[in-house]
Structure 1
Amino acid sequence: MSFRFWRRVQLFPGVSLNLSKSGASLSLGPRGAKYTIGPRGTRATVGLPGSGLFYTVQNPGRGSRTSQRPAHSAPPVTPEIPVQDRLSLGFFQRLVTPADERAFVDGLRALHSGDETEALAQFEAAPEQADACWTAGLLRLKREELEVAQGHLQSALQHSATLGQLYAKYQINATTSFSVTPEVTAHIGPRERGTRLALAELHQLRDEHALAAEHLRLILAETPDDVVVKAAWAELLLDADPVPRAQADQVVQLSAGLENETPVHAALLLYKARALRALGLEEVAVSTLTQAYRRKKDRPEALLRQIRYERALAYAAVGRRGESRRELSAIYAEDPGFEDVAVRLGAR
C-alpha cells in the first residue's frame, strides 16, 4: 500500500523573476522543486506541499548576520538595489573580473531576462565556480537532463567550500525548495546540504536508491537531528512492497524518540508506523499513529486522513474491528474516494 498521498509535482514550471518591496528573487522550477534566488537567505524551511504550513530553521553552519544580532536590536535599514544594477559589470570592472565570474554574472542576467538557454551556456562556461555549477545543475534538473545535472551538482560539491560566495558578493542569495518526500518540502540555499539533497532526489528519480541513501547518510552524519532528511530517508527505505525487515528496522531507528512537533514530524511518525506494521508490531503502530493524530490544528487534512486510514488498518490487524470501521466510516464521510475505504466498508 502506497504512502504517496501527494504526488511529485512540478511546483513552478519555467523561470521567472519576481520583484517586490523586499527585493528581487529569481525562481527556477524543475520537476518537483522550486529554486528561488532572492535577497533573503541563510535559512532552511520545511513544510508540506499544498498545506501552506512551514517552519524555518537556520542552515547548519552558515548563520546569517541577521541571526547573530541581539534579540533587542532593530534590523539594519539598507537601500534596495535593483537586481539589474547588482548584476551590472561596467567596462573597467569587466576588465578586472575573472572570466568565470563574468560568466556567472552574465548567466544570472540571462535568467533575469528569461533566456534560459543563454544562462545555461554562461553557467557551463564557468566549471570552476561552485555557484555556476550549482545553478546549471538545477537548470538541467528542471529539463530532466539527469546525467548532465548530476555532473554539475557533483562539481558543485567538489567546490563546496565556496558555494554561495558569488551569490553573496552580488547580494543575491539563493534558496532551493525540494519535495524531498511526497509529504515534505525542504527550502535550502547553495550549500553542501542542499546540493546533496538535490543529488538524492536525482538518484531517486533514476531508481538509484543506494546512491540516494548515501547522500542522505552523509547529511545526517553532519546534522543527525535533521528531521527533513530523516523523512526523505524513511520514504526511500519504505519504497518497496513488501518492505524488507532490515529496512523497516532502520526506519524505526531513524524515528526513535520522535515527538509530534510539526507536520514534518507527523509525517515521519506515519512512516514509523508503516515500518512497525511491516515488522508485525501492530499494537505499537496503533500507539504511534495515535500520537501522530493527536495534534490536528496545524496539520493538512490529507495527512490526517492518511494517519487515520493507517490506524484503521492497524486496528483491524489486532482484531479491533469496531474501531477500524469507525475510522473508515469517518474517512468515507469526508472523502468517499479515499484509497479503498469504500470497498472495505462494502459501499462498492
Structure 2
Amino acid sequence: MGLRFRRSMNLGGGLRLNLSKSGIGISGGGRGARIGTGPRGQRMAVGIPGTGLFYEKRSSHRKTKEKDIKAARQKDKPPSQKEIKLGFIQSLLTPRAEKLFVQGINHVVSNKREEGINTLRESIRENNSLADSYFALALVTIDEKERLECIKKLIHYRKEFNKHFSKYKAVFGALLSVTDHVSLYIYNDDLGLELLSAEVLEEHGFIKEAIELLNNSIYKNEPALRLSLGELYFRNGQYQECIETLQGIENNDMIGTNAIYYKGLAFKEMEMLTAAVETLRKARRRRKNRDPEIIKEIRYALAETLLANNRKREAQKEFERIMTEDSTYRDVAQRIQELKNN
C-alpha cells in the first residue's frame, strides 16, 4: 500500500493552502461550492448541502500541454516556448532541484544557453532522477558525451519523464535531424523522447539499442518514427525489415520521399533490381518542396541500379539529368564519359 501525505492550512476568507506529495495547491469557496488549482490541474465542485449530491469538473494541465504539442507538430513549426512563472509562495515551497529545472528552462527560452546548460546540470546534481532535466540538457548541450549520458539516464528514469513539464504546462523542444535530409521539430512528449534517444544512440554506434527502443514504441504508425526505424534497419544491414517498416508511406512530403528512397536502396542491396528501379523512380517523381540534394542522391542511386541491371542508356540519362543541375556532383561527369566511350 502506498503512503500519502496531505496537509491543509486555513488562510482565512474561505481560502485553504493544500500541501501534498505531488505539490502545492490552493482552493477557495464555501459550503456547497469550491474551486481549486494544484499541480494536477483545476477542480470545481458544486453540491447541495445535506444531500450527498455534487457535481465535479476537473481540467488537467497535461491535456493543455499535449494539445499545444499536437498542434505544433501538425504544422511542423518551432515549439512555442515560454518562461515558467513561479508564484512567491510556490517558490518558497518548491524543492531546490525543481526550481533549478525551472530556472534552466527559462534561461534556454531567453536565449541564455550557457546559463541554461549549467543550471540544468546543477538540477541533476541536486536530484539525479530528474528526467525532464536530462531531456532538456540532451537537446541543448553541444557535448556529445554528455548528450549520450543524458539519454541513458533519461531512458532509465523514463517513468519520471514529463512530471515537471506537465506540472508547468511547458512545451519545450528543438529541431532534430532524423536522417541526412529530414529534420523536424520534436517536443517534450514520448515521441520526442524516442526520436531523440534513437538518434543519439545511433550517433554513438548503439544501433541495436536504438532499434529495440523504437520497436517497442506505441508510436510505430507515426511516419517520422517509421523513417527513423527504417533507416536504422538499413544501416544495420537488415534490408527486409527496412522494407517492411517503410512499406505504405506515401510520397507526400520529405519524410515520404526519404522513406521510399531507403526502401529502394534496400531492394538494391538485396539485388532485387527491378523493384529497386521502380521504387527509386517513385521516390524522385515528386520534386516540388523537396531538398534538391535528396533528388540528386535518388537519381544517382537510380542510375547505378540501372547500370547493375545492364540498362546503360537509361542510366546515362539519369546521370545527365544530374549534370544539368550540378556539373560537379560526385563522379557524374566521369560516369557519363565512360558510358559514351562504351
TM over 0.5: yes
Closer/same/farther in 2, CA of residues 56 and 137 from structure 1, 3 Å limit: closer
Paired AA for residue 121 in structure 2:
A
Deviation at 1:133, TM superposition (A): 2.6
Rounded Cα–Cα distance in structure 2 between residues aligned with 1:293 and 1:82: 40
1:21 alignment counterpart: none
Rounded Cα–Cα distance in structure 2 between residues aligned with 1:272 and 1:199: 23
For residues 60-84 of structure 1, give each alpha carbon's deviation from its aligned partner in whole angstroms, at most 9, with x where no partner exists.
Answer: xxxxxxxxxxxxxxxxxxxx9973x
Deviation at 1:56, TM superposition (A): 4.1
1:66 alignment counterpart: none
Q: Matches of residues 162-311 of structure 1 in structure 2 within 5 Å?
A: 163-219=161-217, 222-239=218-235, 244=237, 247-311=238-302
Closer/same/farther in 2, CA of residues 174 and 280 from structure 1, 3 Å limit: same
1:102 pairs with 2:99: yes
Q: Which structure dedicates a bigger proportion of its chain to helix? A: 2
The runs of 4+ residues in structure 1 deviating greater than 6 Å are: none
2:3 alignment counterpart: none
Rounded Cα–Cα distance in structure 1 between residues aligned with 2:326 and 2:231: 25
Rounded Cα–Cα distance in structure 1 between residues aligned with 2:81 and 2:137: 25
Rounded Cα–Cα distance in structure 2 between residues aligned with 1:106 and 1:335: 48
Rounded Cα–Cα distance in structure 2 between residues aligned with 1:81 and 1:282: 48
Rounded Cα–Cα distance in structure 2 between residues aligned with 1:236 and 1:94: 44
Deviation at 1:173, TM superposition (A): 1.1
Paired AA for residue 182 in structure 1:
D
Paired AA for residue 279 in structure 2:
T
Is residue 235–residue 271 contact of structure 1 (8 Å, CA) maintained in 2? yes
Rounded Cα–Cα distance in structure 1 between residues aligned with 2:312 and 2:271: 17
Is residue 138–residue 150 contact of structure 2 (8 Å, CA) maintained in 1? yes
1:152 alignment counterpart: 150
Deviation at 1:268, TM superposition (A): 0.9
Give SS of 2:216's match. helix
Q: Matches of residues 49-64 of structure 1 in structure 2 within 5 Å?
A: 56=76
Closer/same/farther in 2, CA of residues 97 and 254 from structure 1, 3 Å limit: same
2:12 alignment counterpart: none
Closer/same/farther in 2, CA of residues 81 and 308 from structure 1, 3 Å limit: closer
Rounded Cα–Cα distance in structure 1 between residues aligned with 2:315 and 2:268: 15
Paired AA for residue 271 in structure 2:
G
Deviation at 1:161, TM superposition (A): 5.0
1:341 alignment counterpart: 332
Is residue 181–residue 291 contact of structure 2 (8 Å, CA) maintained in 1? no
1:131 pairs with 2:132: yes
Rounded Cα–Cα distance in structure 1 between residues aligned with 2:224 and 2:82: 34
Deviation at 1:171, TM superposition (A): 4.5
Rounded Cα–Cα distance in structure 2 between residues aligned with 1:339 and 1:117: 40
Greater Cα shift, 151-160 or 319-328: 151-160
2:120 alignment counterpart: 120
Rounded Cα–Cα distance in structure 2 between residues aligned with 1:194 and 1:287: 33
Closer/same/farther in 2, CA of residues 239 and 121 from structure 1, 3 Å limit: closer
Paired AA for residue 209 in structure 2:
L
**TM-score, normalised with respect to structure 1:** 0.68
Is residue 160–residue 192 contact of structure 1 (8 Å, CA) maintained in 2? no
For residues 319-347 of structure 1, give each alpha carbon's deviation from its aligned partner in whole angstroms, at most 9, with x where no partner exists.
Answer: 22111111111111210111221120128
Q: Any stretches of 5+ residues in structure 1 without a counterpart?
A: 1-36, 47-54, 58-79
Deviation at 1:231, TM superposition (A): 1.8
1:41 alignment counterpart: 69
Rounded Cα–Cα distance in structure 1 between residues aligned with 2:118 and 2:233: 39
Rounded Cα–Cα distance in structure 2 between residues aligned with 1:173 and 1:181: 24
Rounded Cα–Cα distance in structure 1 between residues aligned with 2:248 and 2:281: 15
Paired AA for residue 251 in structure 1:
C
Is residue 110–residue 118 contact of structure 1 (8 Å, CA) maintained in 2? no
Q: Any stretches of 5+ residues in structure 2 without a counterpart?
A: 1-64
Percent identity of the aligned residues?
23
Give SS of 2:165's match. helix
Is residue 231–residue 268 contact of structure 1 (8 Å, CA) maintained in 2? yes
Rounded Cα–Cα distance in structure 1 between residues aligned with 2:157 and 2:72: 21
For residues 286-337 of structure 1, give each alpha carbon's deviation from its aligned partner in whole angstroms, at most 9, with x where no partner exists.
Answer: 1111211222222222222222222111222222211111111111121011
Higher relative contact order (CA 8 A, sep 6+): 1
Deviation at 1:182, TM superposition (A): 0.7
**TM-score, normalised with respect to structure 2:** 0.69
Give SS of 2:172's match. strand
